[in-house]
Chain A
Amino acid sequence: MPGKVVTVTSGKGGVGKTTATANIAAAMALKNQKVVCIDADIGLRNLDVVLGLENRIVYDLVDVIEGRCRLRQAMIRDKRLPELYLIPAAQTRDKSAVSPSDMVRLCNELKPEFDWVLIDSPAGIERGFRNAIAAADIIVVVTNPEVSAVRDADRIIGLIEAEEKGPAQLIINRIKPDMVKKGDMLSPDDVLELLAVELLGLIPEDETVITSTNRGVPVVIDGKSRAGRAFRNISQRLLGERVPFASIEESGGLFNQIGRIFRKGGG
């Protein structure tokens, strides 16, 4: 069976696309899946840093597309997780170096060899975003429980629908359960009510994400991290397992309510 292409996107910057891509990829690799990540954020590459592979880059995505190297040469293998590979973005070029059809061609080449191709999309709705979603089989939209991030997620979901790529699946990142409880933060219910798409995962705010990002070790490798557990649940859901949303949270009762709003969206 050929692999699936998953694009992680958001519209707004800084909501956790790259962190989500790195961690979903690492969690899948932990489950013995063959995974390749593509950093589509050309000119502002980050995924290599988050995965701790920055110092091993020789060739990048643009080199592959412009034929300066073979695809294999640009793929960096993660030594901690043998079935995880990264195709980094070029740092010295911009989005126009790649076209949507280049991405489709590249993914078609990768699909027979891998179980999963994960694409980290740049922020925005321009060329970079179009490149990132061109080859996608599944689109994951990451948002934060903030009005501005939700507004941008709504726009992105609309664009995905217009491209007939949907339905998108939603990850709500950086939830602070105690703030939600006090009514100071949008609850997952509020976000889902507006966006009306399928929920893929809820990630609590967790400081271990910051330290692990700085160290270049995905947080899913840390067995104790709450965010790490949430990302492992997300990868399991993508693999087709049924993981109840209630299991994410132990300290508060917030996520126990989520099960009932898990719904199919769209119209």
Chain B
Amino acid sequence: MLNTVTAKGIREGILFHLSDQNWETNLQALVRLVKDRQKFWRGAKVVLDTANVEVTSDQLLSLKDELSHYDLNLWAVLSENSLTQQAAQFLGLATRISRLEKDTMADFEPIYHQGEPAIFFNKTLRSGFRIEFDGNVIVYGDVNPGAEIIASGSVLVWGKLRGLVHAGALGNEAVVVCALDLQPTQLRIAEQIAITPKRHGKPQPETAFIRDGKVIAEIWNYKG
């Protein structure tokens, strides 16, 4: 058992593990977590792992209501407690989810560098692949059209960036998106959305950032 509520990104959405404290404490911790990352998680499906804590259907219902304020949808409850399982089934919630797919980010351990988390992908991210990460994302490979990277920090791609990128997804404007060939379908930094103009000529490494409230892309010049 854990002593705090924890969240993990899985293919189906977000998986919350409850702590062994009482329901009220858990609920408060969970809501605090959700409030902090409201924008990051918006629209996600939620799976709640209650381990063997007994939770009533009223409590689950109030949690479902609470989460819906943040545009989150509680759809499954995992429990070892049969009463909790019954309560979840009574509300029409799933009590089982399929095995975690191999390409969820749960497989990837974040690397911490001076307190700032970063995640490293040593492969090409293909169409349909989605990363959501509270930190920086580094890709050694291409990001193909149809792939999505949502990061609270910066995004660095050593390759061609042609998918969708949202850097600073929690509102941080002091982040960059850079790539050897910066041609994303859509580039978002914090609240700003930009569409890549058609490029003429040879690709060059570029860095995108926010200046005066606008997304700007500059050719990266290692001499300067």
Contacts and interface: CB of A to CB of B under 8 A. Distances in A.
A170 to B, nearest CB: 13
B148 to A, nearest CB: 12
A1 interface: no
A152 B128 CA distance: 9
Nearest to B104: A162
A25 to B, nearest CB: 29
Given A162-B102, A164-B102, A154 B123 contact: no
A155 interface: yes
A157 B126 contact: yes
Interface string B135-166: 00000011011100000000000000000000
Nearest to B144: A154
Contacts of A158: 103, 125-129
Contacts of B125: 158
A267 interface: yes
A157 B124 CA distance: 11
B101 interface: yes
Contacts of B114: none
B221 interface: no
A267 B103 contact: no
Contact of B128 (A159, A163, A194, A196): A159
A163 B103 CA distance: 9
Contacts of B128: 155, 158-159
B124 A155 contact: no
Contact of A151 (B122, B127, B141): B127
Nearest to A157: B126
Interface string A154-181: 1101110111100000000000000000
Interface residues of A, number: 14
A53 to B, nearest CB: 35
Given A155-B128, A159-B128, A267 B122 contact: yes
A267 B125 CA distance: 9
Given A151-B146, A154-B144, A155-B146, A196 B101 contact: no
Contacts of A267: 122-124, 141
Given A155-B126, A157-B126, A267-B123, A194 B144 contact: yes
A154 B127 contact: yes
Given A196-B142, A267-B122, A267-B141, A155 B103 contact: no
Contacts of B145: 151, 154, 194
Contact of B127 (A155, A162, A163, A164): A155
A10 to B, nearest CB: 13
Nearest to A194: B144
A176 B144 CA distance: 25
B6 to A, nearest CB: 25
Interface of A: 151-152, 154-155, 157-159, 161-164, 194, 196, 267
11 contacts: A151-B127, A151-B145, A151-B146, A155-B127, A158-B125, A158-B129, A161-B123, A163-B102, A194-B144, A196-B124, A196-B142
Given A155-B128, A159-B128, 7 more contacts: A154-B145, A155-B126, A158-B129, A161-B126, A164-B102, A194-B144, A267-B122
